[in-house]
Amino acid sequence: MIGQIAFIIVLAVFSYLIFKRVSRIRKNIFLGKKIEINDHKNERFKNLLLVAFGQKKMFKRPVPAFLHLFIYLGFIVINLEVLEFVIDGIAGTHRISAPYLGGFYTFLMNIFEFLAVAVLVSCILLLARRNVLKLKRFWTYEMSGWPRLDANIILLTEIVLMVAILTMNATDQVLQTRDTHYAATGRIFFSSMVSPLFESLPTGTLIFIERFAWWFHIVGILGFALYVTYSKHLHIFIGFPNTYYAKVDPKGHMNNMPVVTNEVKIMLGLQDANNSAPAEPGRFGAKDINDLSWNNLMAAYACTECGRCTSECPANITGKKLSPRKIMMDTRDRMEEVGRSLEKGGPGLNDGKTLFHDYITKEEINACTSCNACVEACPVLINPLEIINELKRYQSMEESSAPASWNAMYQNVETSFAPWKFPPSDRFNWANDLK
């Protein structure tokens, strides 16, 4: 009874903390502008199935893809065992499903353990890739400090949790052979290979180890669920809605600003100015997170910090300061800062800081060529270019601080309908000497 009460209290505390944190994240996301996304539902469901559930884009790099796939499958399937943990904890039972499922329970436990071992091996290899091989995309300047430590903490935590599962099952296997209440599960392959290490221990010691591993694993899972809401591993959950709501237009398509489109149509005689409702100009582009859409902000929480976008960015490859990954990380950091301020009754967005300038600099966005390489590379369909373009719009249309070469190009497009300074009538002069 004491164990049941303790478990219910632990479960309630973690559930409350997770709910509170999720509520904060939701409020942070909806600091962005409201937009309706109801189009192309079939294509969006297809993206959800192939990209989020099917991990389609991960397999452009096969080695990390297979390692990630084992962790992904382990995360989904092993949580079925956690469901039994929760039922046992509330009901005060032990392996409540075993007597009802019989041989099928043994089969399931072998599947769970296979995935646990696969997760264990995958995490060790991923740790080695990050810290021994030191892949370049994990050792850029934006990944120093907390981002690098965060990734290592997650991988080490998963390793410890998998060891706890194997230890629990191994001691359980030994206890089943003794005169105890432990239900028969049949032979579980991997834990039975470990169980000889515990056979010489007294029954009381085995029970303590088994119970400690059980509590460690379930509390570890609950702690992990809370921790990921503060971590880049929030993509475990946010990645799914992000792939559904991601942009489905052709990658070269740029969203127009309605107020500007309206004015252009009036100038071209395509719309009657007298019959056009005046649109509220608001702000051109984005200076802070509230100028971006909620979809852009959700994408920042979905960022895995894998660095594929930055490693494919031509500007970054040639030594420019731009890193699409940093753009998403900065957007998330700014959301978190504003959210914490609002939670404490502080100034929120009126704290004297802005996303543009204080987090993301002109040098970064001016290096972007809008080539969409970062968009193509992202395994969860994040679009850093949308945020970069909104910051560029603010720089050009609100601050009038775009580089001189940009302003010259803008003027040429306006007067000559091309980036080059010559009249349209001379556009095909280059062909005069052709025979």
| Tokens standing for residue 435 | 């025979």
* Residue 278, pLDDT score: 54
The rounded radius of gyration (Å) of the Cα atoms in the chain is 28
**Taking residues 383-407, what's their average pLDDT?**
93
Question: How far is 68 from 404, CA to CA, in rounded Å?
Answer: 46
CA 372 to mean position of chain CA atoms? 19
**This model's pTM is above 0.85:** yes
**Taking residues 185-195, what's their average pLDDT?**
91
**Taking residues 404-427, what's their average pLDDT?**
85
Residue labelled with tokens 């972007």: 368
Query: Which of 169-173, 188-192, 420-424 is the least confident region?
Result: 420-424
CA 393 to mean position of chain CA atoms? 26
* Residue 259, pLDDT score: 77
* Residue 33, pLDDT score: 93
| Tokens standing for residue 303 | 């960022």
The stretches of 305-366 forming alpha helices (DSSP H) are 308-312, 314-317, 324-343, 362-366
Report DSSP state, residue 49: I
On the CB side of 312, how many CA atoms lie within 13 Å of its CA?
Answer: 18
* Residue 262, pLDDT score: 79
* Residue 281, pLDDT score: 60
* Residue 421, pLDDT score: 83
The closest alpha carbon to 78, from 40, 41, 109, belongs to 109
Q: Count of H helices and E strands in the chain?
A: 18, 0
* Residue 142, pLDDT score: 93
Please calculate the CA angle 163-167-171 and round it to the nearest 5 degrees. Answer: 175
Asked if the model's pLDDT at residue 26 lies above 90, the reply is yes
Question: How far is 229 from 246, CA to CA, in rounded Å?
Answer: 21
**Taking residues 35-41, what's their average pLDDT?**
91
Reduced to 3 states, what is the DSSP secondary structure of residue 200? coil
pLDDT per residue over 313-367, tens digit each? 999 999 999 999 999 999 999 999 999 999 999 999 999 999 999 999 999 999 9
Task: Assess contact for 243 and 51: CB atoms under 8 A.
Answer: yes
Instruction: To the nearest 10°, report the CA torsion of 151, 153, 155, 156.
Output: 160
Cα 95 to Cα 20, 143, 165, 183, 336: the distances in Å are 31, 43, 13, 7, 41
The closest alpha carbon to 324, from 282, 370, 355, 287, belongs to 370
Question: How far is 172 from 299, CA to CA, in rounded Å?
Answer: 43
| Tokens standing for residue 361 | 């600099």
* Residue 425, pLDDT score: 84
**Taking residues 231-252, what's their average pLDDT?**
93
Quickly state the pLDDT bin for 417 (edges 50, 70, 90).
confident
Q: At what angle do helices 294-302 and 324-343 cross, to 10 degrees?
A: 110
Q: At what angle do helices 203-227 and 146-176 cross, to 10 degrees?
A: 150
CB-based burial label for 9 (10 Å; 0-12, 13-18, 19+)? exposed
**Taking residues 15-32, what's their average pLDDT?**
96
* Residue 279, pLDDT score: 54
Question: How far is 84 from 112, CA to CA, in rounded Å?
Answer: 12
pLDDT per residue over 144-177, tens digit each? 999 999 999 999 999 999 999 999 999 999 999 8
- For residues 42 and 278, the model is more confident at 42
Reduced to 3 states, what is the DSSP secondary structure of residue 219? helix
The closest alpha carbon to 364, from 409, 406, 310, belongs to 310
Residue labelled with tokens 């990954």: 325
- For residues 253 and 123, the model is more confident at 123
* Residue 274, pLDDT score: 64
What contacts 364, CB < 8 A, 6 or more positions away? 321, 322, 323, 326, 327
Question: How far is 33 from 289, CA to CA, in rounded Å?
Answer: 9
